[in-house]
Homo-oligomer: A and B are copies of this chain.
Amino acid sequence: MKVGFVGLGIMGWPMAENLVQAGYDLTVHNRTQKKAEEFAKKTGAQLAHSPKEVAESSDVVITMLPGPPEVEEVFLGEGGLIEGADTGTLLIDMSTSSPMLARKIAEVVREQGASALDAPVSGGDVGAREGTLSIMVGGEEEDFERARPLFEAMGKTITHVGPSGAGQVVKAANQIVVALSIEAVSEALVLGSRGGVAPEKILDVLSGGLAGNRVMEVKREKFLSRSFEPGGKARYHRKDLRIALESGREYGVALPATALVEQFFGALEARGDGDLDHSALLRLIESLTGS
């Protein structure tokens, strides 16, 4: 099986590397050509000069891009994947993107006799490197089965969640819960600290009961040291929440707490802290207190 890969960023690079390691014959493309050249040199992958060229020389193409505008450009723009896809080509977008765009792409792709999956991931750059990503997949069952060996080279928990767009819907839902969990722990820690309780005690007690969540385990050291090297950057999480809010508008769903936290991520970004870990939301909540 010839596999194409477009988008060799902090996530895409290690995912593509895991595919090479699993024995796949890769053709890669990246907007910054230099990076694709490095990747080709390091791994022996083939180089392509456009998404179209990648699609022409591949049975399956995977994309891992920053967000909806880039996904739309790479799939549907000039020299895009659509132009190079053949009957039987399977195009898999693993970016975090919009459910509506995923459905639109799937429609266009199917008109051409090709297939599409939306397959966003969670697990971050660590999960990408270690091949332990969670992958939530929307699209036809048979396309999912066809792609499964590729997913297994990149991830650990691989779930077919529904038709086209469903993968992106679940990713949006995931990002809502993560964002509100960070907000929750931040408000709890700020109240607790100002109330004279050591933050460690708060996390210890809360993690044992109904308040327990993965965010307070995984981000514990960041919350306690109050040093916020990323991890998942605040501005990326904000982008994901914007996708959730747009989806809400599309489906007629109000997401009031999500909207509030999107604004806080925006304020964090405006303060120049957008490149910190998303758990730096704690700092924003702290900034709302007296001193």
Q: Is A166 an interface residue (CB 8 A)?
A: yes
Interface-located stretch among A18-26, A43-51, A81-89, A256-264: A256-264
Q: Are B159 and A205 in contact (CB under 8 A)?
A: yes
Q: Are A198 and B123 in contact (CB under 8 A)?
A: no
A260 to B161 Cα, complex, angstroms: 31
Chain B residues within 8 Å of A10, by CB: none
Q: Classify the secondary structure of A's interface with B.
A: helix
Q: Nearest Cβ distance between residue A284 and chain B, in whole angstroms?
A: 10
Q: Is A227 an interface residue (CB 8 A)?
A: no
A173 to B166 Cα, complex, angstroms: 34
Residue of B whose beta carbon sits closest to that of A173: B188
A254 to B169 Cα, complex, angstroms: 32
Question: In the complex, which of the residues B161, B174, B187, B218 contacts A258, with contact meaning CB atoms closer than 8 Å?
Answer: B187
Q: Is A196 an interface residue (CB 8 A)?
A: yes
Residue of B whose beta carbon sits closest to that of A169: B195
Q: Nearest Cβ distance between residue A242 and chain B, in whole angstroms?
A: 13
Residue of B whose beta carbon sits closest to that of A167: B197
A209 to B176 Cα, complex, angstroms: 13
Q: Are B202 and A170 in contact (CB under 8 A)?
A: yes
Q: Are A195 and B210 in contact (CB under 8 A)?
A: no
Chain B residues within 8 Å of A272, by CB: none
Residue of B whose beta carbon sits closest to that of A252: B290
Chain B residues within 8 Å of A172, by CB: 191-192, 195
Q: List 8 A-B contacts (CB under 8 A).
A: A169-B195, A177-B184, A177-B211, A178-B211, A187-B255, A194-B253, A254-B289, A256-B264
A interface residue numbers (CB < 8 A to B): 99, 122-123, 134, 136, 157, 159, 161-163, 165-166, 169-170, 172-181, 183-185, 187-192, 194-198, 201-202, 204-206, 208-216, 218, 244, 247-248, 251-258, 260-261, 264, 285, 288-290
